[in-house]
Homo-oligomer: A and B are copies of this chain.
Amino acid sequence: MPLIRSVFQDELDRVSQTLFDLSVMVSDSMARATKSVMTKDLKLAEEVITSDEKIDTVQHDLDARIIDIIARQQPVASDLRALVTALRMSADLERMGDLAHHVAKLVRLRHPESAVPAELLALVEAIGETAEKIATKTGVVISTRDVALAVQVEKDDDEMDNLHRKLISTLVEPSWPHGVETAIDLTLLGRYYERYADHAVSVARRVIFLVTGKFA
């Protein structure tokens, strides 16, 4: 292993580190948003809403840093590709933060009522846990560039799709007792989690592309 590393390589590593940090932030944000759904905790929901600004700032600073690296180092080929891919990952991660923020806003909108009827809390919790699992694995994929784990993220997304279908099929049962407004809330809630997972899959796929040169 070479003991001398280039400044440029250090800069790339710091970019990866910040992408990982962002993944932790958006994973934590969605975990807390889900918890606020479960507990109708307005304070927690407000915290998630506020912390989205912090995520946006980190993402904005990261993008500025990436563009500065491109301007100064004038990378070509795989290094340039890695930096452009990092810009796209940061956009995906920022959007994941937005979607956690949307979940928390729904909790705030319905407070002190619950956004989710009691008998659906377990299903929404399972959806939330799957989202968190996917985001956490995506963070590890960013750190380790582990292609096998990136493929697992896609499998986990199939699980998310199944849970999402289960949610929608519950809403359209003739016996659905909670009315249209709650069905709309749950449709949007389901969509936020589904899109959150889609963006995590997108990040994992970009890592696969960086490592293998091919899209999965």
**Chain A: interface residue total (CB-CB under 8 A):** 24
Cβ proximity bits A180-194 to B, threshold 8 Å, 1 near / 0 not: 110110011001000
| Residues of chain B within 8 A of A176, CB atoms compared | 180
Contact of A172 with B188 at beta-carbon distance under 8 Å, contacts A71-B76, A87-B84 already known: no
Task: Please tell me how many copies of the chain the complex holds.
Answer: 2
| Residues of chain B within 8 A of A81, CB atoms compared | 67
Given contacts A67-B81, A70-B70, 17 further A-B contacts (CB under 8 A): A67-B84, A71-B75, A71-B76, A71-B77, A74-B74, A87-B87, A88-B91, A171-B180, A172-B180, A172-B184, A176-B180, A180-B180, A183-B183, A183-B184, A184-B184, A184-B187, A187-B188
Q: How far is the CA of A163 from the CA of B91 in the complex (A)?
A: 28
Contact of A71 with B80 at beta-carbon distance under 8 Å, contacts A176-B180, A187-B187 already known: yes
Q: How far is the CA of A191 from the CA of B188 in the complex (A)?
A: 9
| Residues of chain B within 8 A of A191, CB atoms compared | 188, 191
Q: How far is the CA of A22 from the CA of B183 in the complex (A)?
A: 36
A50 to chain B minimum Cβ distance, whole angstroms, is 20
Most buried by B among A75, A80, A180, A188: A180
A57 to chain B minimum Cβ distance, whole angstroms, is 13
A-B contact pairs, 17 of them (CB 8 A): A67-B80, A70-B70, A70-B80, A70-B84, A71-B75, A71-B77, A71-B80, A84-B87, A168-B184, A171-B184, A172-B180, A172-B184, A176-B180, A180-B180, A184-B184, A187-B188, A191-B191
| Residues of chain B within 8 A of A183, CB atoms compared | 180, 183-184
Which residue of B is nearest A215, CB measured? B60
Q: How far is the CA of A183 from the CA of B88 in the complex (A)?
A: 34
